[in-house]
Structure 1
């Protein structure tokens, strides 16, 4: 095996070792989200509740695929490397399809806002009898600096919760300049749309790496195959 092929072999191994660690991290993150902060997803459309599960599944697939790539590079197995490249290209195609679907869902702002508002209203209506719903709304109000679903008027009381106040150290009456006037539904929609661009950029970067990884794996498999042939017929 030539020097260049040897370098590529170890580059493939190192890259896939990093991929394996990234896949393991995705699995851990998905599990933590699923079991620790699942209540916070109650205000999101039902499709977003699948995010932790998808995170675990994708992480597991990435880990197994990277492990296959590592083994293929170390053992110089053309079969493993070719299978690894095919899986990477398949993941790339599925990833693009999911990305396009998610983009179209979020791009349809009226439908997305309507679904988000409906789910948040269900949580808001349960605040008096459900401590988890109560805590969820207050956390959202504090983090996003908003009040109610559409505004402070949703509470229909002389005073709003402390989480609606700009200065959380003091209870503020409503209406008042010290109350956050924006509704949480519109603020959450804005945050999701803003962060979706960042996630989209990261996804594109990962997709490019996947395609390059598949190409390098196929080239390495071809180089190993040619090396075996030369030694066989030498």
Structure 2
């Protein structure tokens, strides 16, 4: 075994360590989507209208993808250590499949972006029709409004416009007020009286009442993290292409090494 072959083997092992970390990160995001209370309540609102578990499905896809990446990474360690040509080919093929899958997912997301945004706005607006008849809808909205610092689907006027019945004849729920805490189960407004007064009188100030709609807040939240998401996705893709290159290099330098 020459130095160059040993070096290629070492680099591929280091690469797989990084690749395994990316798999753990993807798996972690999937699990987070499954257990985070805010995401869970957003999914509840979606299912109340469309019956489709979009976010839940996305979580399972990420979990499955993360597990697959971990398996491929472990497989890559074995292929690098043994320099078995068959396993190196399988490893390279797996990386190519992952890369193409990510590319297809990115293209699909870009193509259907506007449809998803329109659908989300419709879903959020439609759940108001069920607000008075379901405590689950009300609870889900409390979580969303605290999480996204918003009120209503398009704005706080959604509540009076949809004749939503609230305790104490309030115009908006307490979760629509500017809070001194971030607990949707026990929200504490900075000034509950002024908040409700501003909502009733349609006051233009926003010191005590959240005026922004949750659809716009959700869209802005995604946009604020979009650069990071794209950067991470490109980084992972580059890592995978590097893995393909290193795998091919080791394959060429492995000579007749075969452990089948």
Query: Cα deviation per residue 1:148-185 (whole Å; 9 max; x = unaligned)?
Result: 11111111165322221224232111133232222111
1:40 to 39, 42, 50: 42
TM-superposed CA distance for 1:64, in Å, is: 0.9
- Match for residue 163 of structure 1? 175
- Match for residue 140 of structure 1? 144
Residue 3 of structure 2 is aligned to residue 3 of structure 1: yes
For 1:10-29, list aligned pairs within 5 A: 10-29=10-29
- Match for residue 109 of structure 2? 102
Residue 63 of structure 2 is aligned to residue 56 of structure 1: yes
Task: Label 1:120 to 1:98 Cα distance change in 2 as closer, same or farther (>3 A).
Answer: same
- Calculate the aligned-residue CA RMSD, in Å: 2.4
The farther-off stretch of 160-169 and 214-223 is: 160-169
TM-superposed CA distance for 1:96, in Å, is: 0.6
For 1:110-125, list aligned pairs within 5 A: 111-125=115-129
Residue 76 of structure 2 is aligned to residue 69 of structure 1: yes
Q: TM-score with structure 2 length normalisation?
A: 0.77
- Match for residue 207 of structure 1? 237
Query: Cα deviation per residue 1:8-35 (whole Å; 9 max; x = unaligned)?
Result: 2122112213322432343344234324
Query: Cα deviation per residue 1:21-79 (whole Å; 9 max; x = unaligned)?
Result: 43234334423432454333234585444210111111011011111100011112111
In 1, Cα distance between equivalents of 2:229 and 2:239: 15
The farther-off stretch of 74-83 and 32-41 is: 32-41
Residue pair 1:123, 1:137 contacting (<8 A) in 2 also: no
Aligned length, in residue pairs: 225
Quick check: which one's helix share is greater?
A: 1
2:251 to 221, 226, 229: 221
In 1, Cα distance between equivalents of 2:219 and 2:25: 27
In 1, Cα distance between equivalents of 2:55 and 2:142: 20
Unpaired runs of 5+ in structure 1?
Answer: 230-234
Q: TM-score with structure 1 length normalisation?
A: 0.84
TM-superposed CA distance for 1:210, in Å, is: 0.5
